[in-house]
């Protein structure tokens, strides 16, 4: 594990918000409204876990700076994952992991929204607009699904997330975002 700077002010229990095939997202700072994505597995084609996190952070930074609606990326940090064994237990586990830290988005996942309202053409068009902005930047989006987007009704916008498998013809240009 690469040792990134520690995240300041991380003094509370860590709540698991969601898990996917390759990683997990934790609520790490209620005060600052931040989450951290950690990787539990990394396919060999994507290098190490740290390389995969670095890629995802670089993609997010490029998208964010280019006006694509994504969580505000904060950077790569060593995050402390502190969890109780159960809500009734005094026993806890604590470990440090590399994490891609970003703004927490509180919205409804599009797959859940579309299962309730499959013909919501307006929200679907918002999603397609954000995907097109990413394509216009040169990205191929092999896993851009409604599972990887939130809808924020109060703001009338869709926020994309989970860019680990996105491909760009000039990966060096994308990784310059980390400098």
Domain count, the chain: 1
Per-residue pLDDT at 11? 61
Range of the domain at 60: 15-178
Assess contact for 161 and 63: CB atoms under 8 A: no
Residue-wise pLDDT tens digits, 10-34: 666 688 898 888 899 999 877 788 9
**Is residue 141 one of the residues assigned to a domain?**
yes
Per-residue pLDDT at 30? 73
**Is residue 4 one of the residues assigned to a domain?**
no
pTM: 0.89
Which among 152, 173, 167 is positioned nearest to 71, based on CA atoms? 152
Residue-wise pLDDT tens digits, 117-157: 877 899 999 999 999 999 999 999 998 999 999 999 999 99
% of the chain residues with pLDDT over 70: 91
149-152 vs 108-109, strand pairing mode: antiparallel
DSSP codes, 80-124 = EEEEESSTT-S-EEEEEEEEEEEE---SEEHHHHHHH-TT-HHHH
**Is residue 1 one of the residues assigned to a domain?**
no
Domain of 163: which CATH number?
1.10.510.10
**Is residue 5 one of the residues assigned to a domain?**
no
Q: What residues does 25 pair with on adjacent strands?
A: 18, 37
Residue 110 or residue 1, greater confidence? 110
Assess contact for 105 and 76: CB atoms under 8 A: no
**Is residue 160 one of the residues assigned to a domain?**
yes
Residue 90 or residue 145, greater confidence? 145
Which among 149, 135, 16, 166 is positioned nearest to 70, based on CA atoms? 149
**Is residue 2 one of the residues assigned to a domain?**
no
Assess contact for 47 and 40: CB atoms under 8 A: no
157-160 vs 73-84, strand pairing mode: unpaired
**Is residue 79 one of the residues assigned to a domain?**
yes
């Amino acid at each position: 594990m690469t040792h990134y700077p520690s995240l300041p002010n991380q003094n509370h229990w860590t709540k698991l918000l969601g898990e996917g095939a390759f990683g997990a997202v934790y609520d790490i700072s209620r005060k600052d409204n931040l989450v951290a994505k950690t990787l539990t597995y990394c396919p060999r084609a994507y290098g190490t876990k740290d390389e995969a996190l670095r890629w995802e952070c670089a993609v997010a930074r490029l998208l964010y700076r280019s006006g694509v609606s994504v969580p505000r990326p904060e950077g790569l940090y060593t995050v402390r994952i502190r969890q109780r064994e159960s809500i009734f237990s005094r026993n806890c586990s604590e470990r440090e992991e590399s994490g891609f830290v970003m703004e927490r988005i509180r919205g409804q996942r599009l797959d859940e929204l579309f299962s309730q309202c499959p013909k919501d053409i307006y929200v679907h068009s918002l999603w397609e607009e954000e995907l097109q902005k990413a394509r216009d930047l040169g990205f191929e989006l092999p896993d851009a699904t409604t599972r990887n987007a939130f809808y924020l009704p109060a703001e009338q916008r869709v926020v994309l997330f989970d860019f680990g498998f996105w491909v760009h013809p000039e990966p060096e240009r994308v990784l310059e975002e980390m400098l």
